[in-house]
Chains A and B, each alone.
Chain A
C-alpha cells in the first residue's frame, strides 16, 4: 500500500511539473542609449522605457529604467515587440508621432541581441576632468549644445555632486550642493565647478556633473568618476 502511495505522489509531482510550468524566457535584449556613438548618462532609476507585445489579448508594457551609464537589458520571449520611451522622460528627444504620442521602434527577438537606442540629447557634457586640491573636488568640462533648432532648450543649471558610492546625483550627494545657474555660465566650452569634500574615513569619492535643462525633468550627466583623495 505504502509503495503505491509513493508511486502516486511521484506521478502527481511529475505531471504537475509538465502541466503548470512555462519555459522561462531566454532571449536577452541589451544595449545602451547613445548619440552618434556617445553613451547618454542618466540618473539611476529615473528614465524608463517600455516594451509592448501585441496578440496576447490585454495590452500592457513590460519595462524597466536605464542604468546610470545608459545601459539596459531585458530577458524576453522570442517575438515582435514595440519599444518606446514615454513622453517627458529622459534628457533627450525621442521621436514623436503627429498626435504627440511617442513613436515606437519595432524589435524582433529571435535569440539574444545587442541593440543601441539612438536618441538626440539636448546637451552633452564632454572633456570632463576631476582633480582634488585644497579639500575640494574641482571639475572642469565642456557643455556641447546638440539641439539647436526650434525645439532647443536653455540650460537651467549645472551641478557637481560627490558621493561615497557609485550612485551620484542630487539625492545621493554627501556635500553641500554646488549649482551654477544657466545664466551664469560664462563660457560653455570651459566650465569649472568645485565642491567641498566633507570629512570621511574613505580615501576616495565618486564625482559626477549633472546638467538640468529648462522644461525637462531628467538631467543629463557626465560619467561617474572615482576621485582619489
Chain B
C-alpha cells in the first residue's frame, strides 16, 4: 500500500509539474517549419538559399531544362518526334503563344528587396550585393516580359490588399513599351557597380551581366523604334505597344556605350572562346566547356549528381549509338544549313547540281559542305561527320543508274541490291527515313549544346552543360548593329570581323559591306538555337515577312540567300544517296536531293497579332485598365 501511494504521489508530482506551464507559454511554441523574416535573412548563407530560388525562376525563351521543343520551330529545324509534328502541320501560331504574366515572381522579387534591406544581421557589403542581384533579376524579367507583351504594369514594390471591398487602387495600367526598356536600362546603370567584376562568376549576376542585359535591351528598343515604322498597325495609341521613331538613335547610342564597356574590359576580361584549333569544334565547345570559358557572361548552370541536371542531350543526341533508346529530335533544316556563307563571304546553295541541273557526285559526304563558315559544322552534325568519336550514319538510301531509289523504312534496314546475292544495309541507322521519329529527317542533327561527355546522353546521369544567356560574341554583334544603325560602319565592320574571324571567315568585311542584310544574317548564324530568332525578327518587324504563311517551293528555298526578307515558312531537308551503278565512274559516290519531309503540311504564318502576345481575358477582366493588344 505504501509503495502504491509513493508511486502514485511521484507520478502525480511529475504530471503536475509538467502540466504547470502557463497557457500563454503554450501559444509561444515556435514553429519548426516556418522562418520569419528575421530568421530568413539572418545570415548570408540563409539569404543566398532564398536568392537561389529567385535565380531558378528566371524565364528564358529556350531552356535546356524546359524541353527541347523550346529550341525547335520557326523553320530553323524539323521536330523529329511524332508527338511534336504539330509544329510543322499548323498554319499559324495562336495569339497566346509566348504569353507570360508572372507577377507572382515579381512580387517575390520585390519582397526580397524589402526584407533584405530591412535585415538586421546582414553586413552592408552582403546586403549591397544581394540587393543588386535581385534588382538584376527583376530588370531581366521585365525585359523578358516586354519582349513578349510590350508595355506591362511596372510594379516595383509588393502590393497589399486592404480587404476594404474596393480593389481599384491596385489596378495599375500598362506602362508604355519604352518605359519598360528605360527601366531595364536605368536599373543596369544603378546596380552595375554593386555587382562583382568576375569572368569566372557566371551563374550569379556580375557587372558584365548587367551591362550585357543593358546593351541588348537598348538595342532592342532602338530597333523597335526604328523598324516599327514599317508596321504602323502594330502599335497602340497609348504607347503600350510601339516606340516613337525619334527615340531610336538614343537607344542605339546607349547600346553601343554599354557594349563598349564590356569590350574595353572594365567589366572583366571577357573574350571570344578560341581554345581549340579545329574551328568547328571550337565553336561547339563554347557551349560545352565550363571551366575555361571567357566568353559566357551569364548562364543557367547545372551540376552532375546534384539533382540539377538536364536531359537536353538525351533528347537530341544522334540516335545511332545513343546511350538511351532515343535522341535525334532536333533536325536543323536545309533553310539554316544553306544560309552559312562560303569562305569568300558569298552566299550560295549547297552545290548538289551543276549549271545544267545534273547532279554532282562526291567521294565523301562532307565534301558537299566544304569551304563554308565553320559555324555550320559547329552548330549542325553533318552527314559523314562524327559525334563522340563515332561516325553518324545519316544517308537516305541507294540510287540506281536509272534513278530508282532503294531504301528501307527501318533504321539500318537491309535489302539485296541488283547484282548482289545477299542483303546489305540500304539506309542509315540515323535515317533519314520519312516520318520515322528520332532519325535525321532533314538529313542533319543538332550539334550546339549536345554534350558528348559519357553519361550525358543517359537518363540516369544527364548533362551539366549550362545554358548561356549572355555571351561575349553577342555583345560584339550588339555593338556592330548599334554602330551600323548610327552610321559608324567602319566600327561595325570591325566588330563583325572579330566574330567572323573566329568562324574562319578571314576575308574581312569592309565598311561598305556592312548592310542590314549582313547584320540580320550574322545574328542568325552565330546565335542559332540560342533563343534569339523570334525576338530578333519581331524587333526588326521582319517576322510577318519571313513567316508569311505561304508554302515554299524549291526555287523559293534556293533564292534570296543572305537577304533579311527571305521567306522561310517550311523546314526543308537535304538527303544523301549513294550511287549504285557498277558501270558508272561515279559508282559508290554520293549525290544529294532536296526533300520536304512529308510531315511538313503546314506553313508558318506570323500574323500582326503575334507581335505582342495575347493578354488573358481574366487579367483584363480583373483590371479594366489593361489595354488589349492590337491586331488580335
Contacts and interface: CB of A to CB of B under 8 A. Distances in A.
A interacts with B: yes
Interface of A: 58-61, 86-89, 100, 170-171, 173, 176-177, 215-217
A59 B621 contact: yes
Given A88-B233, A217-B608, A171 B91 contact: yes
B602 A171 contact: yes
B260 interface: no
Interface residues of B, number: 26
Interface stretch (B25-33, B489-497, B546-554): B546-554
A171 B631 contact: no
A59 B620 CA distance: 9
B551 A86 contact: no
A86 B628 CA distance: 10
B530 to A, nearest CB: 29
Given A171-B605, A173-B551, A60 B621 contact: yes
B504 interface: no
A170 B92 CA distance: 12
Interface string B231-247: 01100010000000000
Contact of A86 (B603, B620, B621, B632): B632
| 10 closest residue pairs by CB, A with B | A88-B631, A60-B617, A58-B621, A171-B91, A217-B608, A171-B549, A170-B550, A59-B621, A171-B603, A60-B621
Contacts of A58: 618, 621-622
A87 B631 contact: yes
A173 B552 CA distance: 11
Interface of B: 91-92, 232-233, 237, 548-551, 553, 602-603, 605, 607-609, 617-618, 620-622, 624, 628, 630-632
Nearest to B604: A171
A30 to B, nearest CB: 24
Nearest to A59: B621
Contact of B608 (A60, A61, A88, A170): A88
Given A171-B550, A217-B607, A100 B621 contact: no
Contact of A215 (B232, B551, B553): B232
Given A88-B608, A171-B551, A173-B550, 14 more contacts: A58-B618, A86-B632, A87-B630, A87-B631, A88-B233, A88-B631, A100-B237, A171-B92, A171-B602, A173-B551, A176-B553, A215-B232, A217-B233, A217-B631
10 contacts: A59-B621, A86-B632, A88-B608, A88-B609, A88-B630, A171-B603, A215-B232, A215-B233, A217-B607, A217-B631
A3 B632 CA distance: 59
Contacts of B237: 100
A2 B624 CA distance: 57
A170 B617 CA distance: 30
Contacts of B549: 170-171
Nearest to A176: B553
B216 to A, nearest CB: 29
B548 to A, nearest CB: 8
Nearest to B605: A171
Nearest to B627: A101
B617 A61 contact: yes
Contacts of B624: 59
A216 B234 CA distance: 11
A215 B237 CA distance: 16
Contacts of A217: 233, 607-608, 631
Contacts of B232: 215
Of B549, B551, B620, most buried by chain A (CB within 10 Å of CB) is B551
Contacts of B550: 170-171, 173, 177
A170 B233 CA distance: 21
A58 B549 CA distance: 36
A27 to B, nearest CB: 23
Contacts of A173: 550-551
Nearest to A216: B233
Greatest chain B CB density within 10 A among A87, A88, A100 is at A88
Contacts of B631: 87-89, 217
Contacts of B553: 176
Most chain B Cβ neighbours within 10 Å, of A60, A89, A217: A217
Contacts of B551: 171, 173
Contacts of A61: 617
Contacts of A176: 553
A95 B631 CA distance: 16
B35 to A, nearest CB: 37
Contacts of A60: 617-618, 620-621
A137 B617 CA distance: 45
B390 to A, nearest CB: 41
A65 B622 CA distance: 25
B445 to A, nearest CB: 29
A216 B165 CA distance: 44
A174 to B, nearest CB: 9
A86 B627 CA distance: 13
B494 to A, nearest CB: 39
Nearest to B234: A88
Nearest to A57: B621
Contacts of B630: 87-88
A170 B602 CA distance: 11
A190 B551 CA distance: 28
A53 to B, nearest CB: 13
Nearest to B95: A48
Contacts of A86: 628, 632
Nearest to B602: A171
Nearest to A43: B549
A100 B553 CA distance: 41
Contacts of A89: 631
B301 to A, nearest CB: 42
